[in-house]
Amino acid sequence: MAKDTFFHKKVTLNAGGKLIDLSSPKVMGIINLTPDSFYAGSRKPAVDEALQQAGKMLDEGATFLDIGAYSSRPGATDISIAEETDRLLPVVEAVVTTFPNAVLSVDTFRAQVAEAAVKAGAYIINDISGGQLDADMFATIARLQVPYILMHMKGNPQNMNQLAQYDDVFTEVLDYFVCKYQQLKQLGIHDVIIDPGFGFAKKPEHSYALMNRLQEFDIFGLPMLAGVSRKRMIYGLLGTTAAEALNGTTVLNTISLMKGAHILRVHDVKEAVEAVKIYETVVNSGKTF
């Protein structure tokens, strides 16, 4: 087997008292409540549309649903906390009521929104800024005691493209995780998932350099999330569009699994679940004979 193939050790995540075994990789489906997310197919701003999408993703095998009400695409329009909350909470409440066993993650960098979402029934907070855009986020997560997705980004969605400059992108992202995880541990936050932040303040060459060394982030012994779905690093390289980037997404998702990703965050759940099934069959076949 290739030297960079990763065998998943026992990793569990406590989401609202539900212990989720991540030694078998899981899929997180993306539901965007924004009118301007970069991939038009993911935009589900109405409650009934979001519910329909949630049901479809759960039927297709998603373990997690990641609901976001603030567009984080490069150059996205900034919106108020009130507008983000008004978009988000009706959908969280509807999903919790309709699918009580669903494990909801909320994509927000605002502590106030995170707290409201958890009170409404969300289990996980997915923060693209790693606490950098809201000084209260880490303390809020510590108080709520919910799993926290720690992503690497520089700046904010409005200016991150201008900050995509690195001497050594892997070392900088690694050092960032060392610093941030130490802060989280000191606050008593135990369920941390790391996300290198593909495409966030990163040119395609930066994202591919991180993918090449993805397995080295296992030094933390933490679950790792890979979010490459339909991103510019794929369609820019291939000269296509986000709408045409499913095949490239599946390729990168498979590489992510081989390099140790525990969670695939995707727009297309069925295809990602199939990738996990094939990957696990290959890995487990070596244990049979």
Q: Catalogue the active-site residues.
A: 231, 265
Backbone angles phi, psi at 129, to 5 degrees: -100, -5
**Residue closest to 170 by CA, chosen among 119, 121, 215, 112:** 215
Give a three-class secondary structure readout of 21-79: ECCCCEEEEEEECCCCCCCHHHECCCHHHHHHHHHHHHHCCCCEEEEECCCCCCCCCCC
Neighbours of 101 (CB within 10 A): 7
Helix axes 169-186, 137-144, angle to 10 degrees: 50
For residue 84, give both structure tokens: 């983000």
Neighbours of 67 (CB within 10 A): 26
Which of 203-207's residues contact partners 24+ apart within 8 Å by CB, and which partners? 203/164, 204/232, 204/233, 204/236, 204/237, 206/164, 206/166, 206/169, 207/231, 207/233
Neighbours of 187 (CB within 10 A): 13
